[in-house]
Structure 1
Amino acid sequence: MRKIAFLFSFCLFISFTVNAQKVEIPLDTSVTTQHSVSINGKSFDYSAETGMLPLWNEAGEPEASLFYTYYTRNGIKNRENRPLVISFNGGPGSASVWMHIAYTGPRVLKIDDEGFPVQPYGIKENPHSILDVADIVYVNPVNTGYSRPIPDKDGKVDRERFFGVEADIEYLAEWLNTFVTRKGRWLSPKYLIGESYGTTRVSGLALELQNSQWMYLNGVILVSPTEIGLDREGPVEVANRLPYFAAAAWYHNALPSELQNKELEELLPEVENYAINELLPVLVKGGFMEDSDKEAVAERMAYYSGLSKKVILQNNLEVPFGYFWKELLRDKEGYTVGRLDSRYKGLDAKEAGERPDYNSELTSWLHSFTPAINHYLREELDFKTDLKYFMFGPVHPWDRSGNNTGENLRQAMAQNPNLDVLIQSGYFDGATTYFNAKYSMWQLDPSGKMKDRLSFKGYQSGHMMYLRSEDLEKANDDLREFIQNTLPGEGTPAKY
């Protein structure tokens, strides 16, 4: 609940003209409101600061204005021991809205226990937020949320400065330096958390902050991670699909009874073992595998996937994700299943086809997130602007070249003995599958000397596992434990 009236800090705006219309961007402004929340049965007060903070170029001129929301627990006498969690979402081009009002923040969506939208829309207290143990800032990269680039005198934007793997990491590190300096958080333990493409972002930022800003981290959390530049093409990529296929089929009761009767956490290790130790060696042979081997593999894949042996053979054992989402329930119920969360069903114009007409889970999420964030920022946090809040902003074309973010994360860990990594994934995520996340974790450090600093947590939900009430609690508890376990004891040196 909000307790007292809001307080404005200084305000600075920049205006320019687009298509004969004057546009006003808040360049350097913030507003602070006071609230209270009860987390794990304990109530406390906190401050919520929303604002726009400039990105400065080498000449000291603003290149962009980035929108942020910064939560701090009140009554903390010594913030040098108080962790700071820096949160990004992905896309690229997605606002930092999803984890903000559905996962780690003090307020969450009003949705049902499985994550489906309900009306009236809105938000409520988050009794599982990590704000009890850490302050949090949610950062919106350029052209997401209210963040905007500052055009030059000719009204043009240097898109190469912002919209690419390397550019994104470089300018955000510069901006974070300004933010941390302004807020006096240089002494605080720091954590990066990114979701989806945000995992690419924070993996690269770990090294960029360390080597270009001399800002060292205690932890990086990868939520539903992308490939982070690690190679898993060819037979490996195909074999890695099967555990996800099995999870989605299990959820929809599409597996044989002997598998369906198992707990998911009992079933998945069995499928993972088959994928690694039996399926992959056969797939490596490609078109030269024996016909008997191909038949046997197709039969076993059908057993674990909920698909027919015929469909698997028709696809030469390489069933595309899109076809799986269309095919799994085609004959059984006539629905499609979601990409980012295969618990969600969709309804296409025709049952025939190669892939779903739309992403059923994303339309469901936008149904609840869009009204909630627009209302919350304006009416509860009192940030007023006529800028459109970009849930997904214009950031394309995105330069994906030079993606070495996984190697960057490994190098950052090697250079910093205090840096640990936690990976969180939903079993029903078909976009960034949980088993690919495990595979990336295994491949991140080929030496194996840092594996005790890498950990994985899985959940019975999808890409945004926290939308399911049970996993909102569990995932936040895992974050809380990770943060508390990676804070070094006082006076403990960072060394091998």
Structure 2
Amino acid sequence: MGKLYTLFTCILFSLTISAQQTDIDSLSVPEPKSFISNHQITNGGKLIKYKAIASETYLKNKSGEPVASIWSVAYIQNSTEDPSKRPVTFVFNGGPGSASVWLQMGMFGPQLVKVDSDAAKDDGAAPYTLVENTNGILDLTDLVFIDPVGTGFSKVIGKGKVEDFWGLTEDANSVAQFMRQWVTKNNRWLSPKYIIGESFGTTRAAGVANALEGNGQNMALNGLILISQALDYAGSTSVHDNITSYLTYLPSMAATAWYHKKAGQGKSLESFVEECRNYTYNFYAPALYKGSLLTDAEKNEVAEKLSYFIGLDKKYILKSNLRILMPRFQKQLLEEEGLAIGRLDGRYMGDEVDKLTDGPHLGDPSSYQISSAYTASLNHFYASELGVKMDRPYLNSNGEIYGKWNWKPVAKESGWEPSYVNVTRKLSETMRRNTGMKVMVASGYYDLICPFFDAEYTFSRNGIEREKIKMVYYEAGHMMYTHQPDLIKLAQDVREFLSRK
């Protein structure tokens, strides 16, 4: 019995050690990877020699243990006389679940992928064309492109858990932590600091600006550039009974109908949009709030005016109870041609198999008609130009993230009733504490997911000091830089914004 007991004890001890070792191995973290290369480019009429640093940065918990690896690509000018005075701009896209590929390969990176500027052709299959970004801003600022946890090459490591990063507050805190680490490592605390965010990236930007004020390391930003802003989701959520969205989307529908020659012909885009703005504020809003109290004559009058602005049949508008959901508009505007228009960019058109679905069923043509080019070009650029060699695929987007995202704007232990996300008040308060922070808001007229009128509506409320906001507009959609004239205009607007004192 004694020998058997001893043998059993030894086996049990060995199994325990083995299990512990396996657990340790599963949490082992290799050294972060870094790929450094040197390049040059002409931006702003100046030859800029710069270093590209594509690398992993490990975020650690309060115990000093690595919990996440953040992938970033930094483009830093060489031989700067005083690096502490050179601006640095942090760039990210949105989702949540999107990597920074779109702003890097579409607008601000040293090489850009070419897609059809007029939104008339699909990107097709490889090969694709990459060109030097002669409209870049590296003469004005260093650039750091960030991929949040779960996107690009970024991932949870060690004892980290996705729920620690996949949430409105958690995401902002992790990006703020990365920025502090980067600034500290590169001795850039005295550098002017900016953020460029797109779509949900603007939601993140407001959260990060707020998060950077805390944790005993207040890092004030000099400015935010919000591309296709999404600060108050009531204005960008087209669903039944959300009166705000019927209002905020109407001018974008009108602009898109104008573009496709279904409305406003003989008028300029700006004058037609202004006419629709005035109607929305002064007539459409009261009609929606009056609801079923409208008389038949009033309903007919509103339906006729909506048909005038958005190019849909009056009978269809009446059947819709004067409330047109965006997916239906996408399908109805070019119904006679059998085409559905894009959501990110209403200029794009997709030939659908089923012509009668209540909204596009193939997906968003303004997304699937360019995504292959962006994916291939970024992977080629990383491997061929930056020498990046990683052991996992680069995720342009991660669909798993959205389903697990924590939208609560409060701590997990706090109660909160679901409502539309709105970080505008947070931004307003941050701007009042940091009076040196300026904000630029870039909107596309044909953006049917984050409408330009929503930006105007959002920044006219929520305690925002409107005189501190610079609003700029483009004749394209969500990613206005896919339209070459607007890429040039956006670059000029950003350049002017960064140069303001």
Query: TM (normalized to structure 1)?
Result: 0.88
Decide whether the 8 Å contact of 2:70 with 2:149 is kept in 1.
yes
The alignment yields a C-alpha RMSD, in angstroms, of: 2.1
79, 85, 90: which one aligns with 1:86: 90
Deviation at residue 250 of structure 1 after TM alignment: 1.0
484, 494, 497: which one aligns with 1:469: 484
1:313 equivalenced with 2:313 (yes/no): no
Decide whether the 8 Å contact of 2:28 with 2:158 is kept in 1.
no
Distance 1:23 1:325 in 2: 48
33, 37, 47: which one aligns with 1:29: 33
Distance 2:205 2:30 in 1: 26
- 1:354 matched residue in structure 2: 358
Aligned to 1:199, the other structure's residue is in SS state: helix
Deviation at residue 102 of structure 1 after TM alignment: 0.8
Deviation at residue 29 of structure 1 after TM alignment: 2.5
- 1:135 matched residue in structure 2: 142
Distance 1:74 1:266 in 2: 47
Deviation at residue 135 of structure 1 after TM alignment: 0.7
Distance 1:158 1:23 in 2: 12
Larger Rg belongs to? 2
Identify if the C-alpha distance between structure 1 residues 26 and 291 changes in structure 2 by more than 3 Å, giving closer, same or farther: farther
475, 485, 494: which one aligns with 1:460: 475
Distance 2:450 2:290 in 1: 26
- 2:9 matched residue in structure 1: none
- 2:8 matched residue in structure 1: none
Distance 1:169 1:39 in 2: 31
- 1:100 matched residue in structure 2: 104
Distance 1:164 1:462 in 2: 27
Aligned to 1:128, the other structure's residue is in SS state: coil
Deviation at residue 47 of structure 1 after TM alignment: 1.4
- 1:145 matched residue in structure 2: 152
Decide whether the 8 Å contact of 2:71 with 2:153 is kept in 1.
yes
Decide whether the 8 Å contact of 1:27 with 1:54 is kept in 2.
no
Distance 1:231 1:364 in 2: 26
* Stretch deviating more after TM superposition (388-397 or 183-192): 388-397
250, 256, 269: which one aligns with 1:242: 250
* Stretch deviating more after TM superposition (26-35 or 368-377): 26-35
218, 223, 245: which one aligns with 2:227: 223
Distance 1:382 1:284 in 2: 58
1:441 equivalenced with 2:459 (yes/no): yes
Partner AA of 1:472 in structure 2: L
Q: Residue by residue, what CA displacement relative to the aligned partner does 1:400-443 show, whole Å, maximum 9, x if unpaired?
A: 12245211111110001101111001111101111111111112
Identify if the C-alpha distance between structure 1 residues 143 and 104 changes in structure 2 by more than 3 Å, giving closer, same or farther: same
278, 282, 290: which one aligns with 1:285: 290
Partner AA of 1:382 in structure 2: G
1:192 equivalenced with 2:210 (yes/no): no
- 1:430 matched residue in structure 2: 448
Say which structure is richer in helix: 2
Aligned to 2:214, the other structure's residue is in SS state: helix
120, 123, 131: which one aligns with 2:127: 120
Identify if the C-alpha distance between structure 1 residues 314 and 151 changes in structure 2 by more than 3 Å, giving closer, same or farther: farther
Partner AA of 1:247 in structure 2: A
Identify if the C-alpha distance between structure 1 residues 17 and 306 changes in structure 2 by more than 3 Å, giving closer, same or farther: farther
Question: Superposed, which structure 2 residues align to 1:306-345 within 5 Å?
Answer: 306-331=311-336, 333-345=337-349
Deviation at residue 254 of structure 1 after TM alignment: 1.0
Distance 1:222 1:51 in 2: 25
1:385 equivalenced with 2:406 (yes/no): no
1:398 equivalenced with 2:409 (yes/no): no
Deviation at residue 211 of structure 1 after TM alignment: 2.7
Identify if the C-alpha distance between structure 1 residues 230 and 186 changes in structure 2 by more than 3 Å, giving closer, same or farther: farther
Decide whether the 8 Å contact of 1:38 with 1:44 is kept in 2.
yes
Distance 2:462 2:190 in 1: 29
Deviation at residue 43 of structure 1 after TM alignment: 2.5
Deviation at residue 113 of structure 1 after TM alignment: 3.1
Aligned to 2:74, the other structure's residue is in SS state: strand
* Stretch deviating more after TM superposition (456-465 or 176-185): 176-185
Decide whether the 8 Å contact of 2:235 with 2:244 is kept in 1.
no
Identify if the C-alpha distance between structure 1 residues 56 and 313 changes in structure 2 by more than 3 Å, giving closer, same or farther: same
Deviation at residue 50 of structure 1 after TM alignment: 0.4
Query: TM (normalized to structure 2)?
Result: 0.87
Q: Residue by residue, what CA displacement relative to the aligned partner does 1:264-298 show, whole Å, maximum 9, x if unpaired?
A: 12211111111111111111111111221111001
1:301 equivalenced with 2:309 (yes/no): no
Distance 1:377 1:236 in 2: 43
Aligned to 1:383, the other structure's residue is in SS state: coil
Distance 2:434 2:384 in 1: 42
Q: Note the residue ranges of structure 1 that are not aligned, 5 or more in a row.
A: 1-15, 488-496
- 1:9 matched residue in structure 2: none
Decide whether the 8 Å contact of 2:29 with 2:158 is kept in 1.
no
Distance 1:25 1:428 in 2: 46
Distance 2:233 2:357 in 1: 32
Decide whether the 8 Å contact of 2:166 with 2:405 is kept in 1.
yes
Decide whether the 8 Å contact of 2:27 with 2:157 is kept in 1.
no
1:371 equivalenced with 2:379 (yes/no): no
Q: Aligned residues, how many? A: 458
Decide whether the 8 Å contact of 2:254 with 2:309 is kept in 1.
yes
Distance 1:59 1:32 in 2: 30
Q: Note the residue ranges of structure 2 that are not aligned, 5 or more in a row.
A: 1-20, 410-420
Distance 1:200 1:175 in 2: 17
Identify if the C-alpha distance between structure 1 residues 24 and 301 changes in structure 2 by more than 3 Å, giving closer, same or farther: farther
Deviation at residue 353 of structure 1 after TM alignment: 1.7
- 2:18 matched residue in structure 1: none
Identity %: 36
Decide whether the 8 Å contact of 1:229 with 1:405 is kept in 2.
no
Distance 1:327 1:40 in 2: 44
Q: Residue by residue, what CA displacement relative to the aligned partner does 1:364-423 show, whole Å, maximum 9, x if unpaired?
A: 121210100111111111110121101112313111122452111111100011011110
Deviation at residue 17 of structure 1 after TM alignment: 9.3
Deviation at residue 354 of structure 1 after TM alignment: 0.7
- 1:175 matched residue in structure 2: 178
Deviation at residue 132 of structure 1 after TM alignment: 1.4
Q: Residue by residue, what CA displacement relative to the aligned partner does 1:50-84 show, whole Å, maximum 9, x if unpaired?
A: 00010111111100111000011223211222111
Q: Residue by residue, what CA displacement relative to the aligned partner does 1:96-150 show, whole Å, maximum 9, x if unpaired?
A: 1100111122211122333653652142101111111111100000010000101
1:411 equivalenced with 2:429 (yes/no): yes
140, 159, 162: which one aligns with 2:162: 159
Decide whether the 8 Å contact of 1:27 with 1:53 is kept in 2.
no
